Amino acid sequence: MTSHTIGRRARGWALAAVLLLVAGCAKPQKDVDGQALVDASRTGDLAAARALIAKGADVNWKAKYGATPVLVAAQQGNLEVVQALIAAHADVNVHTADVGATPLGLAAFGGYDAVARTLLDAHADPDAAQTDGTTPLSYAAQTGHAEVIRILLAAHAKADPRSRNGATPLMAAAEAGKLAAVQALLAGGADANAASTDGVTPLMQAARLGKLDVVRALLDAHAQVEARTKAGESALFMAAGADQPEIMRVLIAAHADVSAKSARGVTPLMAASNQGGQAAVAVLLEAGADPNAAAADGTTALMQAAGGGRSEVVYALVKAHADVAARERRIGGTALMMAARMGKVDAARTLLDAGADVNAKTTEKTGRTALDFAQASGHEDVINALEAAGGHAGAPGG
């Protein structure tokens, strides 16, 4: 046998091996047809979908993440394809393998009301939740699809289903500021005072995020203005901390307590002074908030504003007779010391102009002054301002 013959036979064997390998890797026809049906469902190609169904393609074939043709068609709002799949006995209550999404949930998220009706007519479960507890109603709420909400409620969907953190569809709609969805849910019996596991209500979410129309709608539906979170904060706290003066006025007109205290003794005025702004502080002061109320640790709104460098707020509080000499309880620190430690020179100057004692000492044995705090933090501009006002170091070696 010649080398030429051996080489020719080897090439033949190699070719045969390749052909066998290709034949072994070819997808089964059912998978080819199943994927084609998923693709047609995604693009809305009704003719192709019907042809594949007539050919015997599996209408419940699962692609990646467990996506079936009806899941894909519902997600894209392809109504006629959904109808064709249902007629061929597609499972309308199937869940994806990743997050557990359902055809009805996907249709609700997209706002496809006709698809939602079709699925419900085919006995889709209106309350079927995905793995995190989100239901079709929650999806319609957060995306603001009021008509889908009405369709689901008419199909006896629960008005207040809970996600894992206790959130309801109304909370989702309020947080997103979807007024029409909020109104549809309230009309359908949703509880305006349902709270999440940490006590947050729809009113609190709307107040914090500046959704004025939603706040008004919830109050009209008898949302409790003084409902509290587990931390003891009401909607007014949240609006104050987010600097929402218009919403604060609406809440106060609805009898929100401007003197309320949280579990730590914090007031709405402190929240506004620390996180909000001058407008929020002005609303609270006009409504009679006490500028000298102290939290459990003795801190006041003035201290919060000074430490945060909010000089305009410091000025407003001083003008409202906030006590510049007030001390917190841990070391007897003052607002001026807090401004000095944080390097807030404008706040420090405002306090000095208001008569703050530049040489007041902490209650510690070392007896530190504002200058000690500024020097320890290396804030030269504050050091210069304090020294110009006659400030001295109080701690030994200061």
Query: What residue spans define the domains of the chain?
Result: 291-398
Among residues 305, 166, 164, the alpha carbon closest in space to that of 229 is found at 166
Q: Give the pair of three-digit tokens for residue 286.
A: 């006009």
In percent, the amount of the chain with pLDDT more than 90 equals: 90
| pLDDT at position 165 | 85
CB 275, CB 238: distance < 8 Å: no
Check the CA dihedral 274-276-281-284 and report its sign.
negative
Q: Where residue 25 falls among pLDDT bands split at 50, 70, 90?
A: low
Does 1.25.40.20 match the CATH number of domain 291-398? yes
Question: What pLDDT shows up at residue 236?
Answer: 98
Closest listed residue to residue 357, CA positions, set 314, 306, 316, 392:
392
CA distance 358 to 83: 79
Q: If we measure between CA atoms, which residue out of 55, 10, 64 comes closest to residue 29? A: 55
Question: Of 238 and 5, which is predicted with more confidence?
Answer: 238
The answer, yes or no, to whether residue 2 has pLDDT greater than 90, is no
Task: State the Cα–Cα distance between residues 75 and 78, nearest whole angstrom.
Answer: 8
Pinpoint the alpha helices (H) of 177-331: 179-187, 202-208, 212-220, 235-241, 245-253, 268-275, 278-286, 301-307, 311-319
DSSP-derived letter for residue 347 is H
pLDDT value at 164 more than 60:
yes
Query: CA-CA distance, 231 to 200, in Å (whole number)?
Result: 10
pLDDT tier for residue 394 given thresholds of 50, 70 and 90: confident
What are 207-235's pLDDT values in tens digits?
A: 999 999 999 999 999 999 999 999 999 99
The mean pLDDT value for 323-330 works out to: 97
Q: Is residue 48 exposed (0-12), middle (13-18) or buried (19+ Cβ within 10 Å)?
A: middle
Token code pair at residue 75: 């997600």
Instruction: Give the DSSP H/E element, type plus range, for residue 108.
Output: helix 103-110
Q: Give residue 398's pLDDT.
A: 53
Distances (CA, A) of 53 to 33, 59, 95: 9, 7, 21
Q: Is the pLDDT of residue 4 over 90?
A: no
Q: State yes or no: pLDDT of 11 exceeds 60.
A: no
